[in-house]
Structure formats: structure tokens, C-alpha cells
Structure 1
Amino acid sequence: MTTLSYTIGVLALQGAFREHLEHLQRAVAAADLAAYSFSLLEVKTPEQLAQCSALVVPGGESTSMSLIAERTGMLEPLREFVASKPAWGTCAGLILLASEIHNARPHQKALGGMDICVARNAFGRQLESFEEACDFSDFAPGVTAFKTVFIRAPVVSAVRKGADFVSVGPKKMHRPNVCSFQEGEKTLTSFDLVVKAECENTAPVEVLHSLPNGLVVAVRQGNKLGTSFHPELADDCSFHHWFVKEFVVGH
């Protein structure tokens, strides 16, 4: 009997990639995945990316991550990868996977893996970071009271439906934390800057979870997953286990 083998990569240009790898290591050791073989890989080069069956794009600083990807020749390979293969973006990774980034920074890039609009730093500064126990069992069986950690987190503000973007979440969103920058003789704020990328994902966008205030913090589009929070900072690998079963083995 042939054992199916999968290589799960974690983008290791910047951010919390080691924590994701540790959680994935625990997740793939679960008894219900014993029929499969898994390799876990830190991804820093196009050659390493080409080995992957699926990719996790971690939290960190989305602008730095995209600039490093561009400088190291990873940006286009990442765009090609997320156009077809399973990918999960957490916090900064969610921002990178989007087709539109609002409250962006100069020279920031998007990958266009999901046809969504994401607002950076929607919860404010790092001092306003928080934790919340969330029940995800309506889409991830058994994942209840999961400790979600939000650190300068983004939110999904709109999703593509047909030819147009449709707003999701509360009508009046908290104005995100903004910064100023110069463009010629003009002083602009990051709130004025929107970064866009072409998106080839034609699957319907599903809102998986909203906080009690209506802010959308988890979405799915086909074999792509985006979460605002940091599941790798919880002492619980159940969300990673669900990702492996649903997006890696399931595809």
C-alpha cells in the first residue's frame, strides 16, 4: 500500500515561522493522520517553495515580508504558488494573501491569492492587542474555546461577489492605526494607500468567523485560508490539525 506524502512549507522570510512549524509537527503526529507521511520545511527560496504541497504564510510584519520576498526573488514564485496550491495566511500572512490591502505602506505588495479586501492594523497599536476564546466548531469540528491572539491584527473588510466587492463586518469600522509618509511634496497617510493584485481565485469567498462586534477574522476561498489571529501562539495545535486535514490531505 502506497503512503501518500505531503510537504508543508512555512514561509521563513520574517515573522513567527518557527512557532508554526512546531504546531504543525504536533498536528501531523495525530493518530488520524498516521496513514500519511509529512515533511515540514522552512521556505526561503523558490527551489524550496517548489517542493511544497501547501504553504503557511505566518504573522509578522507584512510590509517587511513583501519587500524581502521581492528582494530575494520570491515574490513571483509565491504569486504563482498561491494561485493554485493550498495556502494559509495568519495575520500578516492574511494581508499578503489578499487582492486588496487598505491602510497599506509604500512599496508594499500583495499576492492576490484570495479575492478579499483587508485593512491593516484594524485593531490599533500593539498595546491594544488582546486574546479571545473562540468557538470554531461550526467549520472546524472539535475546535472549541480556542485561544485566539490578536496583535496589530488586520480584518477582512470586503469580499468579492461576482464582479464587485461587497462589504462585510460592521458598517462603521474602527479607523485603523495609520502613519504618515511623503510622496513628492504631499504628505499622505497609510489610510490613503491601497495596494492591489490580480486574483485568479474563482471559488466563492466564505466568511468563517466574526467576532461579537462583527469584525471578520477568518475567511476561506477554495483551498486558501486566511485568519486575522495568531493560532501558532496558542498552546493548542487543533487549528493546525484541522488545516492539515481540510486543506492539505483534503485536497
Structure 2
Amino acid sequence: MKIGVLALQGAVTEHIKSLRQAGAEEVVAVKRKEDLADLDGLVLPGGESTTIGKLMNQYELMEPIREMAKSGTPMFGTCAGLILLANRIHGQDWAHLGVMDALVDRNSFGRQRESFETDLTIKGLEGEPYRAVFIRAPHIMEVGPGVEILSTYQNRIVAARQDNLLGTSFHPELTDDVRLHQYFVDMVRESVKLNS
């Protein structure tokens, strides 16, 4: 099982470390189109979504990643990565990958200085509440019928899943709790089993 982390911006090394702790056998940084070969799953980390989108186009990654998502490869978008997955962005008439049936509002929790941490209950995670780190976070305003809401905070959707796509408003790689990465690794494992 081989999982990639899009390495154009954001907390790439933290995601790689969390995925390894969560039991992923092989984790690689993805910077070029060739790096996508043989991947069983892909993480789209935080950062600035417009910048990441431009870089994805520049390095010819947008189309192949979109095709991977459509063909069922598990993908996990965190913060800006969630914005990249969404098919609708509030106040914007275009999307990036456009593969997840969700309307996302960018920076909906305020600027950098309004960053915060809070405890969340997340569907599918056992044990105590999950400590989530929000930094200039987006939130999901609405979802289509095929999207399962996994967590909300102040009546805003902050984690959701649509088949092979997982998205969170917050940064799971910035905590020592690897349960969400474990959830994603399990998604990848399941997908590998189904396709073998």
C-alpha cells in the first residue's frame, strides 16, 4: 500500500509522519506527475488553495489527480485540500478538482489570528473527542445526497466523506492524534482489497 502526500505547500512532513504512525507501509511526497504512478491513496494538505491550484496546473497535476479521484482512488483533503476537492466554492464561479459534491466557504472561521482548537465528535472515530486545530479554516455549507457528514462545529460541517473522498476543515496532521489518518489508511486498505 502506497500513499502520496501532495507536496506543493502545507504541512507535508507532518502528514507523512502521521500516515506512517497510522500504519501506512509506504508514504511518498508528490511533486511531479510521475510521482502519482502506483499510488493507492493521496492526501491533499492545507496551505492556500488558490496557490496550490495554480501549482497543480503548472506541474500538470490537476487533470491526473481529478481522474484518480473519479476512478475511485481514496483522497483526503485537509483545510485547503478540502477546498481543492469541492465542486462548488462560495463566491467563486469555478472549482479546482471539483470531485466532491459540496459547497465550501473559504476562511469561514476568520483570519490567521482567529485560529483555535476545539474538541469534536467525529463519526467513525472511537474513544474520546478529537482535538481539532482550525487555521484560517473553510467549512462545508451544504452537501449533495451522496455525502456523509462526519462532524459539525457550531452548526457548520467540518468533516465529510463521499465514497473515496474524505475532507476536513481542520488540520489533523498538527496533533499527535492519528485516528483520522488511521481512518484514511483503512479507506485505502479497503480500496486496495476491493481492486486486487
Relative to the length of structure 1, the TM-score reads: 0.72
2:139 corresponding residue in structure 1? 155
1:94 corresponding residue in structure 2? 82
Give the one of 89, 108, 119 matched to 1:122. 108
Give the one of 133, 146, 149 matched to 1:207. 149
Q: What per-residue deviation string (whole Å, max 9, x for no partner) do you get for residues 184-223 of structure 1?
A: xxxxxxxxxxxxxxxxxxxx11111111x20110011011
2:194 corresponding residue in structure 1? none
* Residue segments in structure 1 that go unaligned for 5+ positions in a row: 1-5, 30-37, 162-203
> How far off its partner does 1:82 sit?
1.5
Q: Does structure 1 residue 20 correspond to structure 2 residue 7?
A: no
Give the one of 36, 48, 62 matched to 1:49. 36
What is the rounded CA distance, in whole Å, between the counterparts of 2:95 and 2:62 in structure 1? 9
> How far off its partner does 1:16 sit?
1.1
Secondary structure at the residue paired with 2:104?
A: strand
Give the one of 2, 11, 14 matched to 1:7. 2
What is the rounded CA distance, in whole Å, between the counterparts of 2:89 and 2:96 in structure 1? 7
Q: What per-residue deviation string (whole Å, max 9, x for no partner) do you get for residues 66-98 of structure 1?
A: 000111111111111111211010000000000
1:219 corresponding residue in structure 2? 160
What is the percentage of aligned positions where both structures have the same residue? 48
What is the rounded CA distance, in whole Å, between the counterparts of 1:40 and 1:124 in structure 2? 32
> How far off its partner does 1:125 sit?
0.7
2:181 corresponding residue in structure 1? 240
What is the rounded CA distance, in whole Å, between the counterparts of 1:149 and 1:130 in structure 2? 6
Determine if contact 2:137/2:169 at 8 Å carries over to the other structure: yes
Secondary structure at the residue paired with 1:218?
A: strand
* Residue segments in structure 2 that go unaligned for 5+ positions in a row: 192-196
What is the rounded CA distance, in whole Å, between the counterparts of 1:49 and 1:207 in structure 2? 28
Determine if contact 1:91/1:153 at 8 Å carries over to the other structure: yes
Give the one of 122, 125, 128 matched to 1:140. 125
> How far off its partner does 1:103 sit?
3.9
Determine if contact 1:103/1:120 at 8 Å carries over to the other structure: no
Secondary structure at the residue paired with 1:15?
A: coil
Higher helix share: 2
> How far off its partner does 1:117 sit?
0.7
The structure having more radius of gyration, on CA atoms, is: 1
What is the rounded CA distance, in whole Å, between the counterparts of 1:119 and 1:230 in structure 2? 16
RMSD between aligned residues: 1.5
**Which stretches of structure 1, 4 residues or more, deviate above 2 A after TM superposition?**
none
Secondary structure at the residue paired with 1:28?
A: coil
What is the rounded CA distance, in whole Å, between the counterparts of 2:144 and 2:23 in structure 1? 33
> How far off its partner does 1:145 sit?
2.3
What is the rounded CA distance, in whole Å, between the counterparts of 1:223 and 1:76 in structure 2? 17
> How far off its partner does 1:109 sit?
4.7
Determine if contact 2:87/2:95 at 8 Å carries over to the other structure: no
